[in-house]
Amino acid sequence: MRISDLDTPALTCDLDIVEHNIATYQRLISEAGLAIRPHIKTHKVPAIAHMQLAAGAIGICCQKVTEAEVFVAAGIKDVLISYNLIGKLKLERLNRLARQADVKVAIDSAYTAQGISAQAAEDGVEVGILIELMMGNRSGVATPQDAVELGRLVTELPGLKLRGLMGYPTGPAPECLGFFDATIKAFRREGLCLDIVSGGGTNSSWEAAPERAVGFTEHRPGTYIYHDWSQVQRNAHVTLEDCALRVICTVVSRPTPDIATIDGGSKTLTNEGFHIAGLEPNRVVEYPAARMIGQNEEHGILDVSACPRKPELGERVTVIPYHACVVTNLHDEVVGVRGGEVEAIWPILARGKVR
Amino acid sequence: MRISDLDTPALTCDLDIVEHNIATYQRLISEAGLAIRPHIKTHKVPAIAHMQLAAGAIGICCQKVTEAEVFVAAGIKDVLISYNLIGKLKLERLNRLARQADVKVAIDSAYTAQGISAQAAEDGVEVGILIELMMGNRSGVATPQDAVELGRLVTELPGLKLRGLMGYPTGPAPECLGFFDATIKAFRREGLCLDIVSGGGTNSSWEAAPERAVGFTEHRPGTYIYHDWSQVQRNAHVTLEDCALRVICTVVSRPTPDIATIDGGSKTLTNEGFHIAGLEPNRVVEYPAARMIGQNEEHGILDVSACPRKPELGERVTVIPYHACVVTNLHDEVVGVRGGEVEAIWPILARGKVR
């Protein structure tokens, strides 16, 4: 079966590129002296996580306990849930996983620590804890001193085992590194555990050596597995040829000579990438001069006025999505292709795991 | 089981409001002299479609042949697929449905007509056809004369039965009505079928009487079933009390005194409503002064600086999504609640039907 036999829209990933990306980042991060713990939010597919582990990854990272369930059920034994888990239903699920795998959870508050501790004590399990440092404005403790205080609390609470620190560097790199550096030094002074010091993600993978220098132990890239059009536009290390995730679409309408409407709209591609100054949403491989000027849920509207040849009705085009991670959450399966042939059809088992 | 027993994020719909919205729009559109054919993209749930039919709807509208499969399998006998269907795989599916139900398809090109005709002839079925009029820039024929020519072609091709016209009025109302008016007159002159003249959607439901005057037969509202925060901000007829779809979220981090981070980000709510001048994304019911200033996939970032009381860690909040239709596509189930009690848990069976 070939790509051309798939009905559209079809979510595909090029397996040669996936393998190339795995090898590239495994080498890059290993050479910086760090372990690699891929964030699975980009692909959400256990088979791909196993490819990452086979190449040398030490485990995976995810955000939700229901995602962790999918990957632990697929035989993965080292999981970091980089998210404050709150509420009895989630914590009971967490503790069931803690019996099956080495599961660690990131926290940023005494409230979260006490909740996990109480349920762990009740269920008779021990949960590994990383303290999350605030690198943007969404979550994390704000100062090294806050991290130390929370780390101390974790060592005192039953059912918890302090394992170290984590952060997702969304702010300026020197500030993020500086915060880690100061916190690592404070943890050392206090004798607090630093077995795991975890940073990320894809874009900072090319500057991982300074992370190693301040004491990081591991790096958590996610999007590198597929890359996307956002990264091509923003990261000089990433080219269109590195983009494995491609959505095959069909031209379903040519309402005017300058418009070609495809069957990939926001329900297929999300609407990310619109309204970002200087950046273009989704790229059409065969028509690089086409511009996606609008979307409805089922319509992608391409301005093809600058294309020397215009796409015809019924023609198939290949779209590189702006943001890979959010696109895989919309689809039930991804088709692995190699040289135009369908090699695998993977259910996206961790799709839609909102809890 | 009460709402408070659900793990978060939880997609819920208030059944009293759903019933109220069904009754309101059924009355509104009936009084304008039109039939109602709800677009199911908003809810994607057969049980809700059956509530709409029980209240008097004549059938349903959907965009994809795989959505139509879900609803025909649920016993619905009158389906309009308002989308150009192209390609053998889709057309074989269409023809299987045409044996089970009265299925109509909208088209805007000879190419699409010829494709449907060829497969219908091969499969020995007859498919009902509506000509789509262009009301924005995404699809549809551009002039009454184009509509007549395509209508004539449909009457000549085997396997097709011309049923009338449809359009989704996204442009200025007088222009849309004028285009329909001229096309209806041209169809009458040519003796072309006008059994169905179909307009939509929710926002123009309050001005449906002029549609009747020019010859519409039916109206296709979708979002009215749930309403959403976008409509509250843009449509004077819609209030927050009309919004049935609510996402229950938990405050998972308070990284600064003015920020409350909830466990509903773009994977739960989509990122629609950001970057639209003068409009606010997602509303938090309990904290009307809170502003959602950012989102990542799993984090919704609320600025609570203007709130007299700030939300606490672990507290649950109720989010009215900016755009209901795109949110239901992210979730596997919706919980129907009444007076705080869980009355139904419906799988969103037509979620993710991209083909």
What ipTM, to 2 d.p.?
0.96
In degrees rounded to 5, what are phi and psi of residue A23?
Answer: -65, -45
Band (pLDDT 50/70/90 cuts) for residue B276 is confident
Q: Where are the alpha helices (DSSP H) in chain B?
A: 15-31, 46-54, 65-73, 88-98, 110-123, 144-156, 173-190, 209-214, 229-234, 266-269, 324-328
CA distance B23 to A105: 48
Question: Is B353 a member of any domain?
Answer: no
Question: Is B71 a member of any domain?
Answer: yes
What is residue A120's predicted lDDT score, i.e. its pLDDT?
98
Pick the last residue of a domain from A191, A223, A255: A223
Element (H, E) at B36: strand B35-36
Residue in B83, B268, B355 closest to A7 by CB: B355
Is B30 within 8 Å of chain A by CB? no
Is B313 within 8 Å of chain A by CB? yes
Same domain, yes or no, for B194 and B338? no
Looking at beta carbons, which residues of chain A come within 8 Å of B273? Answer: none
B108–A314: do the CB atoms touch at under 8 Å?
Answer: no
A299–B41: do the CB atoms touch at under 8 Å?
Answer: no
Same domain, yes or no, for A258 and A295? yes
State which residues form the domain around B123.
17-225
Question: CB neighbours of A290 closer than 8 A, spacing ≥ 6?
Answer: A260, A284, A302, A303, A304, A306, A307, A311
Quick: pLDDT tens for B27-75. Answer: 999 999 999 999 999 999 999 999 999 999 999 999 999 999 999 999 9
Is A278 within 8 Å of chain B by CB? no
Question: Is A354 a member of any domain?
Answer: no
Domain count, chain B: 2
Tokens of B108: 């805007």
Distance of CA B24 to the CA centre of its chain: 17
Pick the last residue of a domain from B192, B225, B258: B225
Q: Is the pLDDT reported for residue B170 higher than 80? A: no
Residues of chain B numbered 103-122 and touching chain A (CB < 8 Å)? 108-109, 111-112, 115
**B312, B302 Cβ separation under 8 angstroms:** no
Looking at beta carbons, which residues of chain A come within 8 Å of B87? Answer: 7-8, 250, 314
Task: Report the candidate in B259, B263, B273 with the shortest Cα–Cα distance to residue B307.
Answer: B259
CA distance B321 to B247: 7
Test mutation, A267, A333, A348, chain B, max B CBs within 10 A: A267
Task: Report the candidate in B208, B136, B133 with the shortest Cα–Cα distance to residue B170.
Answer: B136
What is residue A137's predicted lDDT score, i.e. its pLDDT?
80
Same domain, yes or no, for A159 and A210? yes
Same domain, yes or no, for A45 and A185? yes
Band (pLDDT 50/70/90 cuts) for residue B208 is confident
What is residue B74's predicted lDDT score, i.e. its pLDDT?
98
Q: Is the pLDDT reported for residue A131 higher than 90? A: yes
A355–B331: do the CB atoms touch at under 8 Å?
Answer: no
What is residue B353's predicted lDDT score, i.e. its pLDDT?
98
Band (pLDDT 50/70/90 cuts) for residue A124 is very high
A255–B108: do the CB atoms touch at under 8 Å?
Answer: yes
B274–A275: do the CB atoms touch at under 8 Å?
Answer: yes
Residue in B63, B261, B314 closest to A139 by CB: B261
**Mean pLDDT value across residues B164-168:** 96
Q: What is the CATH number of the domain that holds A241?
A: 2.40.37.20
Is B171 within 8 Å of chain A by CB? no
Tokens of B171: 């442009």
CA distance A326 to A336: 18
Question: Is A343 a member of any domain?
Answer: yes
Residue B349: DSSP 8-state? T
Calculate what percentage of chain A has a pLDDT beyond 90.
92
Q: What is the CATH number of the domain that holds B143?
A: 3.20.20.10
Question: Is A140 a member of any domain?
Answer: yes
CA distance A56 to A44: 18
Burial class (CB in 10 A: 0-12, 13-18, 19+), B239: exposed
CA distance A167 to A106: 9
Q: Is the pLDDT reported for residue A71 higher than 80? A: yes
Same domain, yes or no, for A213 and A240? no
Same domain, yes or no, for A120 and A25? yes
Question: CB neighbours of A10 closer than 8 A, spacing ≥ 6?
Answer: A3, A247, A248, A335, B355
Looking at beta carbons, which residues of chain B come within 8 Å of A250? Answer: 86-87
Task: Report the candidate in A195, A187, A192, A188 with the shortest Cα–Cα distance to residue A216.
Answer: A195
Mean residue pLDDT across chain A: 96
Looking at beta carbons, which residues of chain A come within 8 Å of B350? Answer: none
Tokens of A105: 């959870």
Q: Is the pLDDT reported for residue B172 higher than 80? A: no
Same domain, yes or no, for B59 and B156? yes
A79-90: b or e for each residue (b if 16 or more CB lie within 10 Å)?
Answer: bbbbbbbbbeeb
Same domain, yes or no, for B206 and B299? no
Residue in A8, A111, A272 closest to B314 by CB: A111
Give CA separation, B104 vs B45, B61, B178, B195, B324, in Å: 20, 9, 24, 12, 26
Residue in B142, B272, B299 closest to A255 by CB: B142
Question: Is A355 a member of any domain?
Answer: no
Cα dihedral A228, A234, A239, A242 sign:
negative
Same domain, yes or no, for A165 and A302? no
CA distance B69 to B100: 10
Is B139 within 8 Å of chain A by CB? yes
Question: Is B278 a member of any domain?
Answer: yes
CA distance A293 to A259: 9
Tokens of B120: 């219908």
Is A354 within 8 Å of chain B by CB? yes
Is B223 within 8 Å of chain A by CB? no
CA distance B187 to B152: 9
B331–A354: do the CB atoms touch at under 8 Å?
Answer: yes
CA distance B329 to B266: 12
Band (pLDDT 50/70/90 cuts) for residue B207 is confident
Same domain, yes or no, for A69 and A125? yes
Looking at beta carbons, which residues of chain B come within 8 Å of A89? Answer: 7
**B127, B102 Cβ separation under 8 angstroms:** no
**A62, A76 Cβ separation under 8 angstroms:** no
Band (pLDDT 50/70/90 cuts) for residue B221 is very high
Is A316 within 8 Å of chain B by CB? no
**Mean pLDDT value across residues A20-49:** 98
Residue in B86, B297, B314 closest to A86 by CB: B314
Is B138 within 8 Å of chain A by CB? yes
Looking at beta carbons, which residues of chain B come within 8 Å of A87? Answer: 7-8, 250, 314
Question: Is A123 a member of any domain?
Answer: yes
CA A343 to chain B, closest CA, distance in angstroms equals: 20
In this prediction the pTM is 0.97
Scanning the structure block, which residue is given the tokens 């956002």?
Answer: A230
Same domain, yes or no, for B56 and B171? yes
B241 C-beta neighbours (distance < 10 Å), count: 11
Is A329 within 8 Å of chain B by CB? yes
Looking at beta carbons, which residues of chain A come within 8 Å of B137? Answer: 255-256, 259, 294, 301
Task: Report the candidate in A63, A62, A40, A65 with the shortest Cα–Cα distance to residue A50.
Answer: A40
Cα dihedral B60, B90, B326, B197 sign:
negative
**Mean pLDDT value across residues B292-318:** 97
Pick the last residue of a domain from A203, A223, A243: A223
Quick: pLDDT tens for A168-205. Answer: 987 677 889 999 999 999 999 999 999 999 998 898 88
Same domain, yes or no, for B33 and B160? yes
Quick: pLDDT tens for A143-159. Answer: 999 999 999 999 999 99
Task: Report the candidate in A241, A286, A242 with the shortest Cα–Cα distance to residue A28.
Answer: A242
Scanning the structure block, which residue is given the tokens 């059924």?
Answer: B26
**A40, A49 Cβ separation under 8 angstroms:** yes
- Please state at what angle helix B15-31 crosses helix B46-54, rounded to 10 degrees: 40
B266–A137: do the CB atoms touch at under 8 Å?
Answer: no
B138–A261: do the CB atoms touch at under 8 Å?
Answer: yes
